[in-house]
């Protein structure tokens, strides 16, 4: 076991460099010599192919993540490196969650709330359109004399200084169409408020599911870790039996192959647990504070 730099022990990675290829070659030689069956050789080649597949998948994921990070930061891909010690430890997941915190941090809830506010203002405006309204307008004009209009209209038909006053009074509460618009706006506002409640409930359920998923993944990680430790003990026991002559080399290789499989399963469990915990931090709005701790 080794320390991961955060006060927690992690399993030591087995030295499997070239093991799969070596196992396949040794198995092929034993098959040709008639020591093992053809089925054993196929199993060895299958183990080698699986190891090669996992290696290709890991390298592909690393390349994609490096390229994405390079595009986001503008740093060349070849200049990017990893610093595991700079990553702060994740906060412990409390057994009892806080749905209100997840609701406050959810963009979906915020959007639904803003939409409900907009619909409420729209309904209020439609109802105020039913209120009586009065429009008052005035106009004052002074007629110029440079066009000699007084010579054509000498009898004071027009006044040089004149004013116009107008008043328009509306009573829209007699308008059935506006009443219908107001009722539709009220229904839309009620619907928007219900959507806010539904969105909050959905976010609360998602937060609860994610929290329970973290607990399940923690249990699965413990199971994988115990299985890996048992596989380690099995390898040590088989090595002792090989030295004493009570076990074959093939049994030792099978034990080591199982050890590597358990180690891979443990790494997968650790990754899934880490991803679930980060998603939970994102949902509860604590991801930014966790990232700030690394600065």
Q: Which domains does the chain have, with CATH numbers?
A: 1-87 (no CATH), 93-135+176-295 (1.20.1600.10)
pLDDT beneath 70: ranges in the chain: 1-31, 33-41, 94-95, 97, 154-157, 293-295
pLDDT of residue 3: 44
CA–centroid distance for 192 within its chain = 25
pLDDT score of 233: 92
CA separation for the pair 80, 84 (Å, rounded): 13
The DSSP output letter for 90 is: P
Distance of alpha carbon 60 from alpha carbon 242, whole angstroms = 39
**Tokens coding 269:** 């469990």
- The answer to whether 277 and 204 are in contact (CB under 8 A) is no
Q: Which tokens is 273 given?
A: 């647990």
pLDDT at 24: 62
139-142: Cβ within 8 A, 24+ apart: 139/163, 139/164, 139/165, 140/164
Residue-wise pLDDT for 252-271, tens only, equals 778 888 888 888 899 889 98
- Write down how long the chain is: 295
**C-alpha–C-alpha distance, residues 234 and 254, integer Å:** 10
User: Mind listing the pLDDT tens digit for each residue in 5-51?
Assistant: 344 555 555 544 455 556 566 666 666 766 666 666 677 777 778 77
CA dihedral sign, ordered 222, 216, 85, 289: negative
Tokens of 294: 């690394």
The pair of three-digit structure tokens given for residue 229, joined into one six-digit string:
């430790």
Distance separating alpha carbons of residues 113 and 188, to the nearest angstrom? 13
Strand-pair category, 9-10 with 133-142: unpaired
Reduce the secondary structure of 185-250 to three states and give it as a string.
Answer: HHHHHHHHHHHHHHHHHHHHHHHHHHHHHHHHHHHHHHHHHHHHHHHHHHHHHHHHHHHHCCCCHH
Q: Rounded to an integer, what distance in angstroms lies between the CA atom of residue 268 and that of residue 273?
A: 9
The pLDDT value given to residue 2: 42
Secondary structure of residue 175 in the 3-state scheme: coil
Residue-wise burial string across 150-178, b where 16 or more C-beta atoms lie within 10 A, e elsewhere: eeeeeeeeeeeeeeeeeeeeeeeeeeeee
């Amino acid at each position: 076991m080794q320390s991961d730099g955060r006060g927690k022990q992690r399993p030591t990675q087995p030295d499997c460099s070239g093991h799969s290829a070596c196992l396949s070659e040794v198995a092929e030689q034993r098959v040709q010599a008639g020591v093992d069956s053809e089925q054993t050789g196929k199993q060895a080649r299958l183990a080698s192919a699986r190891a090669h597949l996992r290696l290709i998948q890991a390298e592909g994921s690393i390349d994609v993540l490096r390229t994405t990070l390079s595009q986001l930061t503008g740093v060349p891909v070849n200049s990017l490196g990893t610093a595991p010690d700079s990553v702060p430890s994740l906060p412990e997941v409390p057994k009892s969650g806080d749905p209100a915190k997840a609701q406050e941090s959810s963009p979906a809830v915020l959007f639904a709330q803003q939409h409900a506010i907009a619909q409420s203002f729209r309904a209020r405006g439609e109802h105020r359109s039913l209120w009586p309204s009065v429009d008052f307008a005035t106009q004052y004009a002074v007629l110029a004399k440079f066009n000699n209009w007084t010579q054509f209209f000498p009898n004071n038909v027009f006044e040089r200084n004149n004013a116009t006053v107008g008043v328009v009074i509306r009573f829209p509460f007699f308008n059935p169409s506006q009443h219908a618009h107001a009722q539709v706006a009220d229904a839309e506002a009620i619907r928007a408020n219900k959507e806010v409640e539904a969105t909050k409930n959905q976010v609360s359920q998602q937060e609860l599911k994610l929290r329970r998923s973290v607990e399940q993944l923690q249990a699965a990680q413990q199971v994988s870790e115990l299985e890996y430790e048992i596989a380690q003990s099995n390898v040590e026991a088989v090595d002792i039996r090989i030295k004493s002559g009570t076990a074959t080399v093939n049994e030792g290789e099978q034990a080591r192959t199982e050890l590597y499989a358990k180690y891979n399963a443990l790494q997968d469990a650790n990754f899934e647990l880490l991803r679930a915990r980060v998603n939970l931090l994102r949902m509860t709005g604590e991801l930014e504070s966790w990232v700030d701790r690394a600065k």
